[in-house]
Structure 1
Amino acid sequence: MKVPSFSTFSISSVASVDITEKRNTTSDFILLGIFNHTRPHLFIFMIVLTMAIASLTGNALMLLLIHLDPRLHRPMYFLLSQLSLMDMMLVFTIVPKMAADYLTCNKSISPAGCGLQIFVSLTLGGGESFLLAAMSYDRYVAVCHPLRYPVLFNWQLCLQMTLGSWFLGAVDGLMQAAATLSFPFCSSHVIDHFFCEAPMLVRLACADTSVFENVMYICCVLMLLVPFSLILTSYSVILSTVLQMHSLDARKKALATCSSHLAVVGLFYGAAIFIYMRPKSYRSANHNKIVSAFYTIFTPVLNPLIYSLRNSEVKEALKKWLGKCSNFKCHQT
């Protein structure tokens, strides 16, 4: 069986023309999607759908464990629960529409629906960026000032950082969604993507968008680089502290505490920088689709796996919960 290349992940130009001719009389947009109706693409679609379900299940389980286990009622795990919530919302925003478009061949999306996708995806992306910075500060305090942890990172500060992350993400999402939809669009309304992203939508505008694109680029840089700078600063200090530790066990414990968060940071910022911070001349629609699928579908699957497999407290909570479930089933039978 021939494996399709990345360039085949878009609908053929003939199909695009047919869709455009049928839809260009309405104000709805057309999402070309990422899969064709071929056997190889159907197989890949089933894999993507399975991973999306696994993502929802894994993040829901993480939320449940953090809520039920008293040992996980700490600021660190509250931030982790917010990360799981953001990942679930992102999957819910993107995957059901993508799957419905593929299965029903009805690829239209209203301007309101398109704006909602832009708002929610940017809110969650920006919120997660600042949330990861808050989590890095939590790790800094835990490693560098463990005795002062209850003072330096208390519940009040944790809640303020969490609300701030959601608020800043929402402000960025609202501004970009409103500005993007304020442009007049060309008659085709065809978006070469599987969900509405601001950079892809701006390409369809029948107006000069250079000022907005520059402002959007600056906003993305600030939303990504400011938290990323805080993360780098936190982990630079953590690394310096770890290298000064005399106990090998203490070093291993400190590195194990931070490795999960660093893995999530690498996945998130790698995809985000590739999508939003590349020069326009280097942007490709097919590459954007692949990377967007990575951070909207695959990364939310990996996050709970990374934290559950590398965190002993989460693993103990999971074993305890599974033990209770098995005992309950035994009593029922």
Structure 2
Amino acid sequence: MESQKRCHNYDQDLINQIREMKLQGLSDSEIAKKLGVARNTVAKWRKICNIEPAPRGKSSTVDVDLLVQLHEKGYADGAIAEMMGISRTLVVKVRKTLGLRPNRRKGERGPGRLRENVPLYQEARRILNDPSTARIIYAATREYLKRVRNDENLTEEEKQRAEAVAWATTIIHPGNILHPSPPAFTSPAEKTNMTHIEYVLKLEHRNDFAGVCGAPSPVLLEAALQIRGAEEEAAALAEYVQYSGYVNTHKTVAEIMAETHLLNKRPEDIAYWHGVWDEQDMKAREWAPVKEGRRIRRCVYRMSEKRITNGKKGKGGGYQNTEARRAYLGAMGY
């Protein structure tokens, strides 16, 4: 009777909600989270109003032999938990019971999961700073290059593009913006020749790399994190190397995964940038007023046959050329 009075004195709506959620099989923590109250409050009024707790499910069974086998291969606790479908806490508990040491050095922390709200360039650098994960990605890249070079069905151009993709997997940092000093004299625009065009295009291509970097694909990073520590299985990730490429430094992992197909999580391929540069080259060369390049001077200084009338005065009354005097002193060892 006393419990019923205390039950009626409290908010009956809250008690009814607790009773309905308990019938649905929710725990005290889940009910407290949904109602916005403390867990102790839910447990207290559940006991006062004689509301039976939700039946607990069966405890997870652990295949000890499989756990030991995965541990011997070098998998971390989180990877073992995902592969066995159990919690990481349970894996740690069983491992400690068996007397097994964790597959990491004392005090070492792994890179964790792939963060989708961070630029891919920053996230790839963070993950590759972990030696265990970096060794797996590098081993997969070497296996990919080995397959490409031994494939007789690929042309030389396709092999070169594949090698460029493999280099991107190891992270190619963005370039610096070049700020050339303006010359003392600039020829008129109507006299621009092909040599000037080549200089400008090289400068533009170099500055394009200021916002572009080579990075491994998100699918390769995810796979490497799952088998972190098991280097003997790195060859299985070689097929994911082909999805790497070149991206803008500000693009996040989520943006790259959303812009590409689910089965082809490939950043922008190097062929895309070659297409951009080829289009720039074609437009610039068509615009050039002078279709010829500047001839390279083969000899900057020519000796004159006439008497030298400038430079340093010699003992015999003549004048010695400054360049000749400098060459003479150089030959003497000065």
Q: Normalised by the shorter chain, which TM-score bucket?
A: under 0.3
**TM-score (structure 1 length as normaliser):** 0.23
Name whichever structure is richer in helix by fraction: 1
TM-score (norm 2): 0.23
| Greater RCO (CA < 8 Å, at least 6 residues apart) | 1
Larger radius of gyration: 2
